[in-house]
Structure 1
């Protein structure tokens, strides 16, 4: 900004502050002491560059500690979510509940992770996904993490200890509601604390860990159920999440707008100037505004923002495929001659493929560093390399898997299909990670609401696919069923070039994306830029 512009800005600030009875010169020392500054409107207080109390400028050890805890919460709750199918099968085998297999899977898997009908889904997981992330943007993240984890522990205790089907229903419903917190709020916390360069790795770790939770669940529950019974899956979950709820008391609140409001409250106290207000784009003046704007924002984003809709559908299908595999893989490998315990081990191949996604992040960093050396901004479209690579590998992996498994193919060694699962795992993770990052970079401070919309779609699809997998695979067979999935993945391959070519224009026409970027540029305190 030119010196003339700076002088004009200072004069405007003096005028605005003088109208409210505030002496700017008298206020400056206090602002400097607290690392704050007057906003461009001359009326509000905002963060100054490099303020060490802003989450982006916290010590790296603090960021890693807080992020590790919430990411582990995501890992464990996701693992327990995919344990539901094994628990359902054991409950059926023991004749503990006189219900059909499909209903049992619905209760154990769908009510816990995502309801499989609109009614139960909207009552459970989707309510949490819609209501709670916007709440975290307006009122903070920490208390939500603690409360949801504690309630999660109670819900698991109800499922494990109550000797009736009603206990399963109530416990799973409550679990579905509160499980929305780690799934949809974690990325918002990451965006609070890390700039674009660091987010490449942090969101990558989060995506891999979350997806590893999906594949770890069936393995964990198979061995626990075999030795201790299905109820111990939930007894152990009760203990782990209870301890985690206590440990989460040690994390810090990371929502910058909430922290800024506290800083300005301190400024008012030491200056005795009661009318000072924080520049707060997340401010919700009353409950009616919160309901009208914040609560319906995820749904509005889903149906009015093309990027949010496409990302939600694609990412939702990819995650739902893992839930489908929790039902489909064990019978397939039992047909190869595997035992019940051995039949869950091919999930490790999916996990290995997901871990290989770390190698793609080096390509992301090369692109980012190249643009920065040339002084050019790094756009969200510049970070789609993994999307370009992952979609064809996902399709190829599914096609190979489809025609190297029984019943139509019986003369191919099981190792071939297991290797195909590595490519499937890599592709699933890349699509999920890159699209999650693309959504975060496109909507920045409203990332949690955008991801809440994604979670709604993901929840619905993750509930439906495990329910339809048994009739689908039994009616047309393993090979043709997986071929249907491979065909869908093949269609996905046209999306990366479309996003790369038209993504910037789509964002330029988006009211939410433009507003979020403007708020970011005005209130950013990053020392290293985006």
Structure 2
């Protein structure tokens, strides 16, 4: 699940459009200030190609209000932009409207995370009902994050071409339908297919929300909305089993799915009432189309319509560029390896916690309540995240993007510490002790997760979305893999040694942020993408 915060903070404004290779800096009229070492609002016009001899009126961008004045070509086409103070510009919408949309997006993120984990509490009943082995049943848990990882590579261009709102509406409908399909499934194949497809549809609740928040909030306003969005996925992951734990005991495992499908249906109604399109280029495209229809004059145009590549090209780039980043960029590869492992551990906990709690004689409902420890870890990390943001503001002028890594460095140590606590207290002392380990572990995972988004966004700027998509694919792929072997590993190695092994691997990987804090600039300087961005800055 994709979370962000000040957590996945202002950096997410720079998620670029995969079709043109241009970043959101270009979309909102930013340029590189070599003195300030950052992107700032344009004070002059955009650099577009116009017919020779055209009488041009420069586009002026005000980042504070997020508006642009009209850019015109008096001899030919007229390109419309948001004028100063335009109430139709999402940046100028009332705060109440912005908050309603922000909370709708965060709720969608919470819901898909909730459904991802709540399925685990009904697995044993489902296995008995459908007469399958525990290994086969584990597949149904694992394929959900697989859908999360694969679908965005193909679906992301559709929001570029058609807007965010149609994607939200269509995917919540599909998500609800596939969730209900799981509840009605007559066999394990139907369950697995429903889980995979619901993961594909639900991925929009993770991948699009950060962009929606960047559409409506200017940088200095975005901290709190991003923090809420970031916390939603982690808290949802913990609350899913905690809230639904007693359902299989009383009305059966299928009702977990039916209740969640109903939650999705209610969400659909809420979206119809409150959600509005937030992508500025789509709103301008609609306005240009309306002006052409009203005036009968085809000169009214939107720049984004002409600069946007075909949907086929968008999909091709979206499918291939992230994988290229993953295997050719050292920073992306090692950061993805790290966050993928800890994400896999988090999904492994969905199988490990029930095994450990059974040592204490816990029933199914009590096992579900143990997952409150996951939600608590996410909440603690979200509340403490402003410390990382303060360190970033203090050190960014000296450290650059590496100033994003202080929280990750601490989080990298908390993950193995949590694993070790979980390993050597389970079954030996009070049941609260291993759950404290889970809380410590989840706090660390949250900080690592947030640092990955911010660091890659700051490091790759115009190519940020490809770098982030690369780690997202790798992370969710490991979320698919870990549940397939976690239970068997715990049985064969012993609960303590299995958790200890996870902790030792996490400890080895914890060196990554410290290496980047020391050598990050030199490593990034070797990247051909970074070299290209430096070349563009010199030409600007």
* Same fold, judged at TM 0.5 (above): yes
2:343–2:476: 8 Å Cα contact kept in structure 1?
A: no
CA distance change for structure 1 residues 191 and 264 in 2, over 3 Å: closer, same or farther? same
Q: Equivalent residue for 1:481? A: 498
Alignment gaps of 5+ in structure 2: 1-30, 32-43
Which residue of 1 is the match for residue 265 of structure 2? 242
- Per-residue CA distance 1:24-59 (angstroms, 9 max, x = gap): 46x999x9xx8425499x997666777654444443
**Matched position secondary structure for 1:345:** helix
2:133 aligned with 1:112: no
Q: Distance in 2 between matches of 1:148 and 1:383?
A: 33
1:140 maps to which of 158, 163, 168: 163
Could you tell me how far 1:81 is from its partner in structure 2?
A: 1.2
* 1:353 aligned counterpart, secondary structure: helix
Match of 1:98 among 131, 134, 139: 131
Q: Equivalent residue of 1:314, what SS?
A: helix
| Alpha-carbon offset, residue 277 of structure 1 | 4.9
Residue in 1 aligned with 2:322? Answer: 298
Task: Please list the CA deviations of residues 192-211 of structure 1 after superposition, one character each: whole Å capped at 9, or x if unmatched.
Answer: 33444444443332222101
Q: Quick one: structure 1 residues 371 and 483, their matched pair in 2 at CA, closer, same or farther if it must change by over 3 Å?
A: closer
Task: Give how far 1:89 is off.
Answer: 0.9
Q: Which segment is superposed worse, 442-451 or 414-423?
A: 442-451
Q: TM-score, normalised by structure 1?
A: 0.80
2:371 pairs with 340, 347, 351, which one? 347
- Deviations 1:82-111 (Å, cap 9, x if unpaired)? 122222211123xx212211112212x123
Q: Number of matched residues?
A: 487
Question: SS of the counterpart of 2:494?
Answer: helix
Describe the SS at the equivalent of 2:132: coil
Which structure 2 residues correspond to residues 119-518 of structure 1 after superposition, within 5 A? 124-249=147-272, 250-265=274-289, 274-275=298-299, 277-280=301-304, 283-367=307-391, 370=394, 379-406=400-427, 410=428, 412-443=429-460, 448-507=465-524, 510=527
CA contact (8 A) 1:215 1:322 kept: no
Partner of 2:364, secondary structure, is coil
Given that residues 412 and 444 in structure 2 are in contact (C-alpha distance below 8 angstroms), is that contact kept between their aligned partners in structure 1?
A: yes
Is contact 1:316-1:457 (8 Å) kept?
yes
Tell me the distance in 1 between the aligned counterparts of 2:216 and 2:466. Answer: 17
Q: Deviations over 1:448-487 (max 9, x none)?
A: 5444323321222112111101110111101111111111
Find out whether 1:62 has 2:93 as its counterpart. no
Deviation at 1:395, TM superposition (A): 1.7
CA contact (8 A) 2:244 2:368 kept: no
**Within 1, Cα distance between the matches of 2:164 and 2:533?**
19
Tell me if structure 1 keeps the 8 A contact 2:243–2:369. no
Give the whole-Å Cα distance in 2 for the aligned partners of 1:110 and 1:193.
35
How far apart in 2 are the matches of 1:134 and 1:52? 27
